[in-house]
Amino acid sequence: MRIVGGSHRGRPIAVPEGDKVRPTSDRARESLFNILEHGRWAAAGSPIAGARVLDAFAGTGAIGLEALSRGAGHVTFLELAPVALETIKINVAALKEGSRVTILRGDAVAPARAPQPCSLVFLDPPYGKNIAPPTLKNLVAAGWIAAGAIVVLEVGAKEEFAAPDGFAIEDERRYGAARLILMRYAGAA
Domain containing 101 equals 6-185
pLDDT at 189 over 70: no
188 C-beta neighbours (distance < 10 Å), count? 9
| Within-domain flag for 1 | no
- What per-residue confidence (pLDDT) applies to 167? 96
Domain membership of residue 11 (yes or no) is yes
Distances (CA, A) of 24 to 56, 119, 166, 188: 13, 21, 26, 30
Could you tell me whether strands 118-123 and 52-56 are parallel, antiparallel, or unpaired per DSSP bridges?
parallel
Number of domains in the chain: 1
Residue 20: pLDDT band with limits 50, 70, 90: low
Residue 50 within a domain: yes
| 46: in domain | yes
Let me know: does 59 contact 21? Beta carbons within 8 Å.
yes
89, part of any domain: yes
Average pLDDT (77-96) is 96
Element (H, E) at 90: helix 82-95
* Residue 109 domain flag: yes
Q: How many Å apart are CA 154 and CA 54, to the nearest integer? A: 14
Query: How far is the C-alpha of 156 from the C-alpha of 128, rounded, in Å?
Result: 7
45 — pLDDT class (breaks 50, 70, 90): confident
What is the domain-level CATH number for residue 121? 3.40.50.150
